[in-house]
Amino acid sequence: MIDETDTQRLAERGSNRSQRPTSQAFREFIAGNWEEREPVLPDRSPAAAPAAARRKRIGLLFRGDRLVVPAGQLVTRSNDTDYRFRPHSAFAHLTGLGADQEPDAVLLLEPLADAPADGPTHEAVLHIRPAAGKDTEEFYADARYGELWVGVRPTLAEVEARTGIRCAHLDTLPDAVAKDAGQVTIRVVPGADAAVTALVQRVREEVGATTSTEDDDALAEALSEMRLTKDDHEIGELRMAIAATAAGFDDLIRSFPRATAHPRGERVLEGAFGARAREDGNGLGYETIAAAGDHANTLHWIANDGPVRPGQLVLVDAGVEVDSLYTADITRTLPVSGRFTDAQREVYQAVLDACEAALGKAREKGARFRDVHAAAMEVIAQRLEAWGMLPVSAAESLAPEGQYHRRWMVHGTSHHLGLDVHDCAQARRELYLDAELRPGMVFTIEPGLYFRADDLAVPPRFRGIGVRIEDDVLVTGDGAERLSEEIPRTVADVEAWVQRLLPPPDGQEAGAR
Ligand code: GLY
Ligand code: MN
Ligand code: MN
């Protein structure tokens, strides 16, 4: 019940904990006596040139249209605290900005009148909310944007120097979107920023434009399909993400003794990897799966609140996202004590053989994306047949009307990887699943077998074992490169890796075993 005598509105009560001064004397005092910031402009980002090339490509596809690409808004996590900001991937791709840059910003690709057939089609303008002066209330009173709260924000000139894109104040966005609205098709990336979508929609309605959400969807589709092949800069960033992920897996193995001693050992593993992700990168590309024993059979096990016991396997699916927002996506299934049991090894080897078959297919000339999955499934079905687990032959199971083997691997074998862990998700099927592999494509190969402890169709010796092995692969001119080849994955290499990083048992020298 709200007390009728209480006149303070609910929305204003959030600040009741604080007693910010409001006196004129305070306002004047806090506004002055700050050292001037040196007007040194940052260097041009190495991402600027590739981002310009991408803007050129998208411009050619939408000649004459105004394209609106928002970074997105801060998202509330609870009450008045926000999640760490991460810009929309299409915005990052077209601007080269990453990390937490820049809430509310909008890239506008303004069509050039009389664009020459072989020349630029659009002018890019980046609308951002620049740093406010120290004489503004925002400076000290705005917990979302104020410099005393979130640190120095860049000026228009600084973002311009960094990106090579002309910058304008965010306040000028509505006019820029509405300019000549009746005579130009306006398309906005759907789902990126509800306020910007509403602004575009208002402008369209005011002029009675016939543009529909299908026009926006066509932009999203094109932006997604543009990312199906990666340029050299992107491949370099992905290599960095994978190297940091490899270091994170080393840290995680080093934490095994602490994990087995802790009632929530999976959290110890998650934390060890997460620390590396923040130290070496922007953070995690997705929530880490740290699943010991039977938890590995819950495909998206991110609760990570179980114990880790000697003798178990831990399935860890984790990826570092670097500051440019490219992410790795790696899974390793590791024996906690440094040695696989016979049953664990048998299942592990089956999955590894499926990985090898899929990689071999990816290296074949003319292979399609879907063939990579088919190659992995063939191995999985044959192994399940050999273990007597299929009610039909492997061949019958592999037929579309069979698919019994999928009981133990319901997920796909591969997905594109880049700025989004599941990259290019709006691409058309004919360019994704049905497409021939092309140099520059980066995708995962990640078969698995998941034998739940309560699965009576599984031989008892395998129950409670879950294995996935996930690598990141780049299609090259003459095959495919396993970008994550430095991260051990054969039975012998994984055992040696874990044993090398585990502290030696009492009384032994390091490296003595
Ligand atoms: N980590 C998400 C995936 O493997 O697709
Ligand atoms: Mn994956
Ligand atoms: Mn994964």
Which of 332, 420, 446 has most ligand 1 atoms within 8 Å of its beta carbon, as the pocket-test mutant? 446
Q: Of all atoms in ligand 1, which is nearest to the CA of residue 331?
A: 4
Look at residue 6 in the predicted model and tell me its pLDDT. Answer: 64
CA 463 to centroid of ligand 1, rounded, Å: 23
Rg (CA), the chain: 27
**Closest ligand, as measured to the CA of 286:** 1
3-state secondary structure of 269: helix
Contacts of 25 (CB under 8 A, 6+ apart): none
Which of 298, 317, 471 has most ligand 1 atoms within 8 Å of its beta carbon, as the pocket-test mutant? 317
Using CA atoms, how far residue 161 sits from 37, 43, 166, 202, 512, in Å, is 16, 7, 9, 33, 55
Look at residue 511 and tell me whether its pLDDT is greater than 70.
no
Q: Of all atoms in ligand 1, which is nearest to the CA of residue 318?
A: 1
Look at residue 3 and tell me whether its pLDDT is greater than 80.
no
CA 470 to centroid of ligand 2, rounded, Å: 7
Reported in sequence order, the residue ranges of 242-394 that DSSP labels E, i.e. its strands, are 283-284, 289-292, 313-318, 320-321, 330-335
CA 169/CA 162 separation, integer angstroms: 16
Mean of pLDDT values over 93-112: 97
The CATH architecture to which 232-501 belongs is Alpha-Beta Complex (3.90)
Mean of pLDDT values over 91-111: 97
Q: Report the nearest-CA residue for atom 4 of ligand 1.
A: 329
| Of residues 428 and 38, more confidently modeled | 428
183: exposed, middle or buried (Cβ count in 10 Å: 0-12, 13-18, 19+)? exposed
Pairing of strands 442-445, 471-476: antiparallel
Which of 242, 245, 286 has most ligand 1 atoms within 8 Å of its beta carbon, as the pocket-test mutant? 286
Look at residue 335 in the predicted model and tell me its pLDDT. Answer: 98
**Closest ligand, as measured to the CA of 330:** 3
**Closest ligand, as measured to the CA of 300:** 1
Q: Of all atoms in ligand 1, which is nearest to the CA of residue 415?
A: 5
Look at residue 64 and tell me whether its pLDDT is greater than 70.
yes
Q: Of all atoms in ligand 1, which is nearest to the CA of residue 422?
A: 5
Band the pLDDT of 504: cuts 50, 70, 90: confident
Look at residue 18 and tell me whether its pLDDT is greater than 90.
no
The token pair at 417 is: 């990887």
Which of 424, 442, 444, 468 has most ligand 1 atoms within 8 Å of its beta carbon, as the pocket-test mutant? 444
Contact between 70 and 113 (Cβ < 8 Å): no
Mean of pLDDT values over 237-266: 98
Which of 298, 327, 329, 420 has most ligand 1 atoms within 8 Å of its beta carbon, as the pocket-test mutant? 329
| Average confidence score pLDDT of the chain | 95
Alpha carbon 116 to its chain's center:
37
Look at residue 505 in the predicted model and tell me its pLDDT. Answer: 67
CA 471 to centroid of ligand 2, rounded, Å: 8
| Nearest alpha-carbon partner for 170 in 192, 150, 183, 154 | 154
Look at residue 9 in the predicted model and tell me its pLDDT. Answer: 87
Mean of pLDDT values over 307-319: 98
CA 446 to centroid of ligand 2, rounded, Å: 6
CATH 3.40.50.300 given to domain 23-226: no
For ligand 1, which residues put their CB under 6 angstroms from it? 286, 317, 329, 415, 421, 446, 470
CA 468 to centroid of ligand 3, rounded, Å: 9
CA 13 to centroid of ligand 2, rounded, Å: 44
Q: What percent of the chain has pLDDT over 90?
A: 88
Question: Cα(first)–Cα(last) distance of the chain, in Å?
Answer: 69
Look at residue 512 in the predicted model and tell me its pLDDT. Answer: 43
Q: Of all atoms in ligand 1, which is nearest to the CA of residue 329?
A: 1
Look at residue 326 in the predicted model and tell me its pLDDT. Answer: 98
Contact between 199 and 73 (Cβ < 8 Å): no
pLDDT digits (tens, 9 = 90+) for 355-394: 999 999 999 999 999 999 999 999 999 999 999 999 999 9
pLDDT digits (tens, 9 = 90+) for 326-359: 999 999 999 999 999 999 999 999 999 999 999 9
Look at residue 507 and tell me whether its pLDDT is greater than 70.
no
Look at residue 208 and tell me whether its pLDDT is greater than 60.
yes
Mean of pLDDT values over 202-212: 89
Angle subtended by helix axes 491-501 and 342-362, to nearest 10: 120
Mean of pLDDT values over 175-203: 96
pLDDT digits (tens, 9 = 90+) for 399-447: 999 999 999 999 999 999 999 999 999 999 999 999 999 999 999 999 9
3-state secondary structure of 479: strand
Look at residue 513 and tell me whether its pLDDT is greater than 70.
no
| Of residues 453 and 152, more confidently modeled | 453
**Domain assignments of the chain as residue spans, ordered by start:** 23-226, 232-501
CA 297 to centroid of ligand 3, rounded, Å: 14
Band the pLDDT of 509: cuts 50, 70, 90: low
CA 411 to centroid of ligand 2, rounded, Å: 10
Using omega within 30 degrees of 0 as the cis cutoff, is the peptide bond preceding 206 cis?
A: no
CA 317 to centroid of ligand 1, rounded, Å: 7
CA 329 to centroid of ligand 1, rounded, Å: 6
Q: Report the nearest-CA residue for atom 3 of ligand 1.
A: 329
Hey, CA dihedral for 286, 422, 159, 82, is it positive or negative?
A: negative
Band the pLDDT of 166: cuts 50, 70, 90: very high
Mean of pLDDT values over 225-241: 98
Look at residue 465 in the predicted model and tell me its pLDDT. Answer: 98
Q: Of all atoms in ligand 1, which is nearest to the CA of residue 289?
A: 1
